[in-house]
Chain A
Amino acid sequence: MSDPALPIAEEDLHAWIDGQLEPGRQEAVLRYLQEQPDVARRVDAWRDQRDALRAALAAMATDPVPPRLKLDRLIQQRLEQRRLPWRAAASVLLAFGLGGVGGWFLRGGQVPPEATITLLAQQAVANHVVYTADRRRPTELGAQQRDDLARWVSNRLNHQVAPPDLSTDGYSYIGGRLAATPDGPAGLFMYDDPQGVRLTVFVLPLNAAASMPIQHVDFAHVDGCAWIDNGVGYTVVGKLPPPELRRIAELVRRQLG
Chain B
Amino acid sequence: MTGSGVLTRIEACIPALRRYAAALLRNRDDADDLVHDCLVRALDKLHTRRDDADVRAWLFAIMHNLFISQLRRAKARPAGESLDETHEAALSMRPDQENALQWRDLIRGLNALPVEQRSVILLVSVEDLSYADAATVLGVPIGTVMSRLARGRERLRQLTDEEAVRPVLRRVK
Task: Spell out A's residues near B (CB within 8 Å).
Answer: 10-11, 14-15, 18, 20, 42, 45-46, 49-50, 52-57, 59-63, 65-66, 68-69, 71, 74-75, 78, 93, 95-100, 103-105, 182-184
Tell me the minimal C-beta distance from A203 to chain B in angstroms: 18
- Interface contact B131-A68, CB-CB below 8 Å: no
Partner pick for B131 among A20, A56, A66, CB 8 A cutoff: A20
Interface residue ranges of B104-152 to A (CB < 8 Å): 106-107, 110, 121-122, 124-126, 130-131, 146, 149-150
Tell whether, in the assembled complex, residue A100 and residue B14 are in contact, meaning their CB atoms are under 8 Å apart: no
Are A71 and B146 interface neighbours, CB within 8 A? no
Contact present for A54 and B126 (CB under 8 Å): yes
Contact of A69 among B5, B32, B47 (CB under 8 A): B32
Q: Are B130 and A20 in contact (CB under 8 A)?
A: yes
B131 neighbours in A (Cβ, 8 Å): 15, 18, 20
Query: How distant is the Cα of A59 from the Cα of B130 in the complex, in angstroms?
Result: 22
Instruction: For the complex formed, measure the closest distance between the CB of B99 and the CB atoms of chain A, giving whole angstroms.
Output: 7
C-alpha gap A98/B16 in the complex (Å): 23
B93–A60 touching, CB < 8 Å? yes
Q: Cβ of A182 and Cβ of B4 under 8 Å apart?
A: yes
Q: Assuming the A-B contacts A11-B150, A53-B110, A74-B43, are A96 and B3 also in contact, with contact meaning beta carbons closer than 8 angstroms in the complex?
A: yes
CB neighbours of A71 from chain B (8 A): 7, 10-11, 14, 39
Q: Which of B2, B107, B146 contacts A182 (CB 8 A)?
A: B2
CB neighbours (8 Å) of B2 from chain A are 100, 103, 182-184
Interface of A, secondary structure class, is helix
Q: What are 15 A-B contacts defined by CB distance under 8 Å?
A: A49-B106, A49-B156, A53-B122, A59-B93, A61-B16, A63-B15, A65-B18, A69-B36, A71-B11, A71-B14, A71-B39, A74-B40, A78-B43, A104-B3, A184-B2
Query: With contacts A56-B107, A184-B2 known, is A65 near B15, CB below 8 A?
Result: yes
Chain A residues whose C-beta falls within 8 Å of the C-beta of B124 in the assembled complex? 18
Given contacts A97-B47, A104-B8, could you give 20 more A-B pairs where the C-beta distance is less than 8 Å? A18-B131, A50-B153, A52-B103, A52-B106, A53-B106, A53-B110, A53-B122, A54-B125, A56-B87, A60-B19, A65-B14, A71-B10, A97-B3, A98-B46, A100-B2, A100-B4, A103-B5, A103-B8, A183-B2, A184-B2
